Structure 1
Amino acid sequence: MMKMQRSLVGLVSMTVLLGGAVGASASAKVTYVRVKPGLTRLAVYQKIPKTAHQVKLGHQRQLSAYQVYRVVQRRHGSGGEYVQLKGHGWLKQNKTAKLTHVKSNGTLAIIKQQSAKGSLTAKTTVKKLTVSVNGPQATQKVMQHKTLSAAKAKAAHLKVTQSAQTDFGQYYYVQGKNGIHGWIKATTVNLSITLPADADTVITTPKPVAVAAAPTVGITAPVSVVTPTTPVTTPTKTANQSSAGGSSVTSPIKTSSSTTSSKTPVVTKPATAITSGTLTEAQAMAKINTLITQNHIMGTLLVTNNGPAGVKVMNYGDANVAKKIPNSTTQPYPLASLEKALTGAVVQRLINEGKLTMTTPLSQYYPQVPFAKDITIRELLDHTSGIRMGEPIPTPPLTNESDQVAFTISHLTSTDQHIWNYSNANFTLLAGIIGKVTGKSYMSNLQSDVLTPLGMQHTFLYNQIPSNLTNPLSYTDNNGQSQPNNISTDLLSSELGCGNVYASVGDYYTFINSLFTGKLDGQAGFQQLSDGQQIKYSGGVYYRAGNTVRIGGADNGFRSYYFGTNNGKVAVVLFANQSNWKGANAVAEQIQDIVSQSEKF
């Protein structure tokens, strides 16, 4: 049976006094705090302890972490600062956390509330759920609660209709059978939702360089279709064996040119049904070329509907417009967020070897991150760690991996809200963990675990691209003119494990195909890394309905996409140095549909 309770939110009122070791001066500002979560019992004092002996005499009391406390005084005592909470006495200030969104009556304000959709169940470690009937916890002076067992919550088929954020974290408003309704704390449940198509991408918009624009070239010129004489192959040897050599290609075969009179990006409606074999190869290529040219995309495109045996690579436009250097098949492009799948694969290798587990806590390697003991490898891989971070740019650039991790830790926010929220910081921390576990750099591990065994000879760190290879510039199409963008190497220097590696389209397909077919981490390893390929983001890849996947990345004006099936048979790898984000994303998905409808390549 559910138990109805009524609880009074603990509120204490007094003016904050800010003072030194002896006295305290009055202040008109009111401060509210909460007790930090996870602290079951606290030492509470009637008077500020002034000696180490008095510190040991505190009364052990249990204070709720989900109650608002108003600070009466703040003073210095033995061992640090203390705060006085009305009706509760003094306790160490470092046991509390400041609340910033509190109403004048001492209840929490709702920072953000929006509609949401999904279903939820209690986490396996949660036996009972607390449902706050009249609002998220502490948003009313008198709260009404219901206690619901995990089994009854499952039987009630709880559906989420709203989401709200307070200083206590995120809450979901649920409705279910038997009249159950109310707010449940997000950290106690698993929410099944459908994420937006571009949810796994951090987009950086570069500032244009102040130079004269050059006419767009190559977009309407004949498209080079490159068919490998030796297809992009996946080695059958194990991942710890090395192999030399990469895929070779013939000279370009020219097809008929594709032109457009419109300067406005055109995106046709995606096919609603995929029926294999309804298009000839020539028809498929014509449709693809039309999409690329109409949307003014420059870059390199790999497609297949027959695994490595059917790989075809097309180049569009220039890597350097001013110097008339065309984009090329083996040319490395910034992977941006597509690198995260590489990081995930290396992490899985360490799990396979017993050096990590999916439940290994972050605190084992970076205890200085707030709530690190409650953050697991699995949560870092899936962006459910509660860590938030934008894209701060370091000045000067960071020159080693330890500095890159330290920069990330100094700029991240750890919220203890374990809901899906995309953040590069998760994968930089994973890269740091890889280094700590192995005693080798992230790039050394990537080289030995992935690049060398798979023969990926066109994948490099952003500042280690060989001079004999083309290093493309990025452009913005401005009414038919290609305007070059700034490429921030300072930003790239901070993106360890999440966006500072370049690769060719062929190398990236080789990697993904090897990962999906189990040739890299084994089938059991792939299933673990992908979390059973549930419809969600896992380990660097967005698993979608219909046994398809998507990965997207954007950085410094470049766009990178991978679309295809989860067995690697159908694949679209589009690396663009001129495009817009939404348009190119839609084009890449439509190319997947076209390739799926074509006869086998």
Structure 2
Amino acid sequence: MKKRYWLLTSLVLVIFIIIIGWRLVKRPLPDKAKDTTTVSSILVQSNPLVKADIKQMVNKEHFKGVVLVVKNGVVINRSAYGYADFGRVKKNNIRLAYPIASLQKFMTGSLIAQLVAAGKLSYDTKLADFYPNHPELANIKIRQLLDHTSGIQMAESNPGKLLGLEEDQLNYVLSEIKVGEDQSFQYTNANYTLLSGVISQVTGEKYETVLQNKIITPLHLKRTFSWEKRPPKMTLPIAYRYEDGKDYQDDAFHADKELFSSLLGAGNLFMSIDDMLKVQEGLTNGKILTKKEYKQLAQVENAGYAGGIWHDEGLKSIHGSLGGYDTFVYGDESNRNLVILFANQPAIDGDEQLATDIYNFTVAFSNE
């Protein structure tokens, strides 16, 4: 009886194993493209030649700062080069917050896009209701401010005093601008300061508060600060330049609080490179904007500048510059492949060229 029981049990077990094995064989294979992308990214990430080649490109250009590279959605390089403060022997590191200059503009543009999506503005809304004491601005549209086609001109100079309140910062810009009839592309920080004023009037809150509530807090950005709230104990990268065959030569521009105070919405933020990556991803993953909202803001189908970003055939580039501080983002609109550079000593051939070279190298690189 016991022998028959064990025979029956063994037979059931064998049948069970056969059924499980058959189901495993018949199970559909994972999507080949997805599997290839993941494996390729891991191979590149683990290959020391990739970081070595990037380092060689960076050193050849005498670039000092931090570099972040994304390939197929995976960070494959996150490195710091040179000194943040050469005199005090303080090295650059990825946790430092650097002045991002005009990279702030696309964030201001994103806040405008959120208001458009909420039905509180349109890209064709005119400035008449927002700046009634400035009739020269009345017929300028939101879209024209976003794309620097407003006809507004303003010299980018130090105001000579600290502008403590956002109202003071906005009034300073309003007192300095000139409006011409030429509405071709003319880049000026004033356009984005005026957009900051629109954001404040529509929301009833300070621009900085809206930025905090709509971008910084939702994305959990831990190292993003306005110019006056940067932690005093955090190392401030000093701006340098490469000259006469020597690194770390004094740059004419210094982190001047008076100048930062005049760049409301246009270039007064400090940010870490990882925080910048989060914001780039947030432009299309729904955390800041949906893909549809981003396309409306950025007009990605058209080559040129829109919403704080340059666009060309599926690629984007964003540039910020304040003396020796130079920031650059280059990659595809989907952020699958991306290069971010934060420099306190720019590349000798320009950070745009360095970012492009790194991008082309990493996209083309294969372990096969």
List aligned pairs for 1:140-539, cutoff 5 A. 281-307=47-73, 309-478=74-243, 479-485=245-251, 486-539=254-307
Name the structure with the higher helix share: 2
Match of 1:567 in 2: 334
How many angstroms apart in 2 are the aligned matches of 1:541 and 1:439? 27
Deviating above 4 A after TM superposition, structure 1's stretches of 4 or more consecutive aligned residues are none
1:532 Cα deviation after fit: 4.2
1:311 Cα deviation after fit: 4.8
Letter in 2 for 1:411: E
1:412 Cα deviation after fit: 1.0
1:585 Cα deviation after fit: 2.0
Q: Which one has the largest radius of gyration?
A: 1
Match of 2:316 in 1: 549
User: Is the 2:84–2:236 Cα contact (8 Å) retained in structure 1?
Assistant: yes
Q: TM-score by structure 2 length?
A: 0.83
Letter in 2 for 1:400: L
How many angstroms apart in 1 are the aligned matches of 2:183 and 2:267? 23
How many angstroms apart in 2 are the aligned matches of 1:335 and 1:343? 13
RMSD: 1.9
Could you say if the C-alpha distance between residues 539 and 417 of structure 1 is closer, same or farther in structure 2, counting changes exceeding 3 Å? same
Q: Looking at both structures, which has the greater relative contact order when contacts are Cα pairs under 8 Å and sequence separation is at least 6?
A: 2
1:320 Cα deviation after fit: 0.8
Match of 2:362 in 1: 595
How many angstroms apart in 2 are the aligned matches of 1:310 and 1:502? 22
> How many residues are matched?
322
Match of 1:64 in 2: none
How many angstroms apart in 2 are the aligned matches of 1:476 and 1:468? 24
1:393 Cα deviation after fit: 1.2
How many angstroms apart in 1 are the aligned matches of 2:187 and 2:66? 27
How many angstroms apart in 1 are the aligned matches of 2:299 and 2:345? 34
User: Is the 1:302–1:573 Cα contact (8 Å) retained in structure 2?
Assistant: yes
Match of 2:19 in 1: none
How many angstroms apart in 2 are the aligned matches of 1:316 and 1:512? 23
List aligned pairs for 1:568-587, cutoff 5 A. 568-580=335-347, 582-587=349-354
Letter in 2 for 1:435: S
Report % sequence identity.
Answer: 33
1:483 Cα deviation after fit: 2.1
User: Is the 1:369–1:414 Cα contact (8 Å) retained in structure 2?
Assistant: no
1:581 Cα deviation after fit: 6.9
Residue by residue, what CA displacement relative to the aligned partner does 1:321-348 show, whole Å, maximum 9, x if unpaired? 1111111111111110100011011111
Gaps of 5+ in 2: 1-39
Residue by residue, what CA displacement relative to the aligned partner does 1:382-412 show, whole Å, maximum 9, x if unpaired? 1111111120211212111111111111111
How many angstroms apart in 1 are the aligned matches of 2:352 and 2:87? 27
User: Is the 1:514–1:520 Cα contact (8 Å) retained in structure 2?
Assistant: yes
User: Is the 1:488–1:556 Cα contact (8 Å) retained in structure 2?
Assistant: no
How many angstroms apart in 2 are the aligned matches of 1:529 and 1:566? 13
User: Is the 1:517–1:568 Cα contact (8 Å) retained in structure 2?
Assistant: no
User: Is the 1:361–1:375 Cα contact (8 Å) retained in structure 2?
Assistant: yes
Secondary structure of 1:516's match? coil
1:569 Cα deviation after fit: 0.6
Residue by residue, what CA displacement relative to the aligned partner does 1:37-66 show, whole Å, maximum 9, x if unpaired? xxxxxxxxxxxxxxxxxxxxxxxxxxxxxx
Gaps of 5+ in 1: 1-275
1:554 Cα deviation after fit: 0.5
How many angstroms apart in 1 are the aligned matches of 2:301 and 2:256? 35
Q: TM-score by structure 1 length?
A: 0.52
Secondary structure of 1:589's match? helix
